[in-house]
Structure 1
């Protein structure tokens, strides 16, 4: 999986992950969120920035097409991935669900990927995980 460029020192900001009453703080300024589509079993990746305005999606990639995952018209096929850059709209939070029909979400930073269960230190299962920007501890 491609990881977003390693960036540290995002002005005192971190990525906060909250799931089932537990909060994990990651001191990262950029990351890649990766998963497998539950029906099509196709890889999907998104590169995000942690900014003072919120989480900002920089680029998205799909390893194919299918039900519910059609790339937009501006997507270009590069190295087997449909890639595009959506408008950079900061989001206060991003909510990740899991139907149990697909593998876990993976968070990648500086070339290292971990599942959400690995980050939390226990199985996440079908619990919702919320990503948001928070202050460095």
Structure 2
């Protein structure tokens, strides 16, 4: 089964057995929630729809975005990301991974964000089946 690996420089810190997920976070300054939907493929992570609940510093809403249910919805055409690199520091707060209709803080798998590990990579990988050894 294909899944999502979390780690850095190819070193796996955690595996999440999911083929689809939403990466969610709050903007560090504006405190506005962002969400990006991804599909895990053998080529990498494919970005689907993205949503943001407002605009502000460094948060320009694309011209083709549509306002629905209190958030701007849009899609960007990008090649598969392998890996997707994100910053993760105590000051910025934690990301959430949402799948199977539930959101989880990254800290559930990785512990809290640490200043000495300010980056995280997500990539597609062969995930262990739940219950296998």
Q: Same fold (TM over 0.5)?
A: yes
d(CA) in 2 for partners of 1:101 and 1:66? 19
Task: Pick from 69, 93, 112 the counterpart of residue 102 of structure 2.
Answer: 112
Q: Do structure 1's residue 123 and structure 2's residue 95 form an aligned pair?
A: no
Aligned to 2:5: 16
d(CA) in 2 for partners of 1:48 and 1:28? 10
Matches within 5 A, 1:37-52: 37-52=27-42
Aligned to 1:132: 123
1:39: how far off?
A: 1.0
Q: Does 41-50 or 22-31 show the bigger shift?
A: 22-31
Is the 1:49–1:55 contact (alpha carbons within 8 Å) kept by the matching residues of 2? yes
1:133: how far off?
A: 0.8
Is the 1:58–1:88 contact (alpha carbons within 8 Å) kept by the matching residues of 2? no
DSSP-derived class of the 1:100 partner: coil
Aligned to 2:25: 35
d(CA) in 2 for partners of 1:100 and 1:41? 15
Aligned to 2:90: 100
Matches within 5 A, 1:53-92: 53-92=43-82
d(CA) in 1 for partners of 2:109 and 2:36? 18
TM (norm. structure 2) is: 0.86
1:30: how far off?
A: 0.2
User: Over residues 51-105 of structure 1, what are the superposed CA-to-partner deviations in whole Å (9 max), with x where a residue is unaligned?
Assistant: 1111011011001001111111110100110010111420110111134333210
Structure 1 unaligned residues grouped into runs of 5+ = 1-11
Structure 2 unaligned residues grouped into runs of 5+ = 129-133
d(CA) in 2 for partners of 1:97 and 1:14? 21
d(CA) in 2 for partners of 1:94 and 1:33? 11
